[in-house]
Structure 1
């Protein structure tokens, strides 16, 4: 059995045509965007690796077939901390997102351990998180690189420059972070 690695990512926004101009992202079409993200994901993630996706998996959730096809092509055992685009107006997880092959039930908040460190995962940035005063880390999405890191807290979204549309490991993400 090979060594299992853990990766973190957020805000892939598969099938979300408007994301190309909202952020902006450097792709001419959403198909080009989606294929690039799939290729970057699969270049680093192995079949048995774990990927924590911190929300906003896809948009255009009426296109369930395409979203399922994209998801099936992504390597690894995938866990979801859901974001605002993953839920319906009533707060329920969108059936398309819920029906994907997640390794566990998607959650609004998740606690994991990686490299012997505690990490709080959420779609939204928190300035106070469980275990902060005891050295816990905090990874979030949603901000699309517009909210600067603070101490042990940082954005792991695909459009953050050092993430470069690629799921990243804890060691890669903590480089350059300044302790509180």
Structure 2
């Protein structure tokens, strides 16, 4: 990450190094090697100028990691940054993903969407990008690391949907 982040978004860290180490520690306390983790974008931001640091951080994070591409993950032409493209993701990074968890469809994107696939059939939509400034709506919510109930730690589907009124999808 970069120092300016600590100025733009109130975060309880004295330095960006402390911030990054806290995130790595929190991640690894919640994630086992066999767990699947979806990162909803902006994985390295300013670290993209430091390939060794981003590779080192990525290598320390447990789990099978998937990247949903964010606005800070691409170059000026919109192409995935080569440093990120070269990391050992579980699959090719995409701009959006669909998966299933908790017995229902889940649509993952960096950006919030007003509508999403299977929305009217109980699908949940998780997004990042807005740093908690965009309120949840129905089955759509911000799951960025800096959202209060996420607390800089990867969360499970059950934790992220605990306050949602999930319709029966049987």
- Kept in 2: contact 1:79–1:106 (CA 8 A): yes
4+ aligned runs moved over 3 Å, structure 1: none
- CA positional deviation for 1:178: 3.7
| Counterpart selection for 1:105 from 92, 102, 111 | 92
Tell me the SS of whatever aligns to 1:37.
helix
Q: Which residue of 2 aligns with 1:23?
A: 9
Q: Residue 115 of structure 2 aligns with which residue?
A: 128
Matching residue of 1:45: 31
Partner of 1:93: 80
Structure 2: unaligned runs, 5 residues or longer: none
Aligned equivalents of 1:137 and 1:45: distance in 2?
Answer: 22
TM-score w.r.t. structure 1 length?
0.90
Query: RCO (CA 8 Å, sep 6+): is it higher in 1 or 2?
Result: 1
What SS does structure 2 have at the residue aligned with 1:100? coil
**Unaligned stretches of 5+ in structure 1?**
1-14
Query: Which position in structure 1 is the counterpart of 2:146?
Result: 159
Of Structure 1 and Structure 2, the greater helix share is in 2
Corresponding pairs, count: 166
Give the corresponding residue for 1:3. none
Q: CA-to-partner distance for each residue in 1:50-85, whole Å, 9 max, x for gaps?
A: 000010111221111001000000000000001000
Is structure 2 residue 20 aligned with structure 1 residue 34? yes
